[in-house]
Amino acid sequence: MPAEESRTVSQIAGTEVVELEIPPGGDLLSLARLTAATLAARSDFSVEEGDDLRLAVDELCLPCVRASSDSRLRLRFTRDDESVAITCTLAEDDASASDTDPTGKVGGERGGVTMESAHPDDALSTYILHALVDEHGPVDENRRLAGHWLRKRRAS
Amino acid sequence: MDQVFEITEEPGRAGGAPIIKVKGEVDVATSPALRERLQDVHGPGIQIVNLHEVTFLDSTGLGVLVGALKRCRETGGSLRLVIGEPRILRIFEITGLTDVFSIFPSVDDAVEA
């Protein structure tokens, strides 16, 4: 699989998992937004809720994009009938890491890339996320910040 | 996929400054181009940025618009935004920036205000 993009889909007992890995720099964040919107529709989110999730996944990814200009973003979307959860972490920057972790563990056995420090603009992204989703927070690996996660539930 | 990102200019109305028209998705990939284009948006008078055909706007695009607004105000001018899509207005509402920007539903409204 080329380093450009890899995506896997699995379905386990009513839960769908989509893994997406996109190149550094955020040029293809639209793929993350498209995936979020598609899964929102599959969970019967309203159009407005789907739009909110589209914006939320973008803001979720921005701290990772700002933290590293040479690491790919690894996104894991988990959807069920009532909610969509998304995790975004930095992947290793060697091409061999483009294979997604079959265990689904965040960061994988190879270990993800940690984010050394927060960018000032991350606070605005966090503020926006807070307004758009039900839950969100940091992903820690070995007590270091490796990314962020969110969960949005369907309103009714 | 949504529209391709594009920035164009429309003639100003009644001798006003050209209207900057933005199309497509404004995100971390495209906001640098918008920032560059808006660098010379300042000075006295009314500047209008038409976002009517913008299909997505995130915090990076918002930051660019805030920077342009600040430059306009510092040089005695004003910046007016044209936004028709509720989903674009949403991020302005979330961040409280609907009270900071002058936002209009159409170019005619922005010109005549």
Full residue range of the structural domain in which residue B71 is found:
6-33+42-112
- CATH number reported for the structural domain that contains residue A125 in this entry: 3.30.565.10
Does residue B69 form part of some domain?
Answer: yes
- CATH number reported for the structural domain that contains residue B59 in this entry: 3.30.750.24
CA distance B110 to B113: 5
- Contact check, Cβ <8 Å, B29/A55: no
Full residue range of the structural domain in which residue A96 is found:
6-153
Question: Residue A124: closest CA among chain B residues belongs to which residue?
Answer: B59
Q: What are phi and psi of A24, to 5 degrees?
A: -60, 160
Does residue A1 form part of some domain?
Answer: no
Does residue B92 form part of some domain?
Answer: yes
Q: What are phi and psi of A11, to 5 degrees?
A: -130, 120
Residue from the list A30, A48, A124 with its beta carbon closest to the beta carbon of B1? A30
CA A51 to chain B, closest CA, distance in angstroms equals 7
Q: Is the pLDDT of residue A4 over 60?
A: no
Question: Chain B residues with CB inside 8 Å of A121's CB?
Answer: 59-60, 63
Question: Chain B residues with CB inside 8 Å of A62's CB?
Answer: 28, 58-60
The complex's ipTM works out to: 0.90
Mutate to test the interface with B, among A55, A133, A148 (most CBs of B within 10 A): A55
Does residue B21 form part of some domain?
Answer: yes
| pLDDT, position B43 | 76
Does residue A68 form part of some domain?
Answer: yes
Name the stretches of chain B with pLDDT < 70. 1-3
| pLDDT, position A99 | 43
Amino acid present at A19 = E
Question: Residue B24: closest CA among chain A residues belongs to which residue?
Answer: A30
Per the CB < 8 A criterion, the answer to whether A18 and A9 are in contact is yes
Tell me the CA distances in angstroms from B76 to A93, A115, B18, B47, B98, one per residue in order.
Answer: 47, 41, 17, 11, 20
| pLDDT tens track for A83-126 | 999 999 998 654 444 444 433 344 444 445 666 666 777 889 99
Does residue B26 form part of some domain?
Answer: yes
| pLDDT, position B3 | 66
Its pTM stands at 0.85
Looking only at Cα atoms, what is the longest distance across chain B?
Answer: 40
Domain count, chain B: 1
Domain count, chain A: 1
| pLDDT tens track for A6-55 | 666 666 567 999 999 999 888 999 999 999 999 999 999 999 999 999 99
Does residue A81 form part of some domain?
Answer: yes
More confident call, A145 vs B65: B65
Q: C-alpha A59: how far from its chain's center?
A: 10
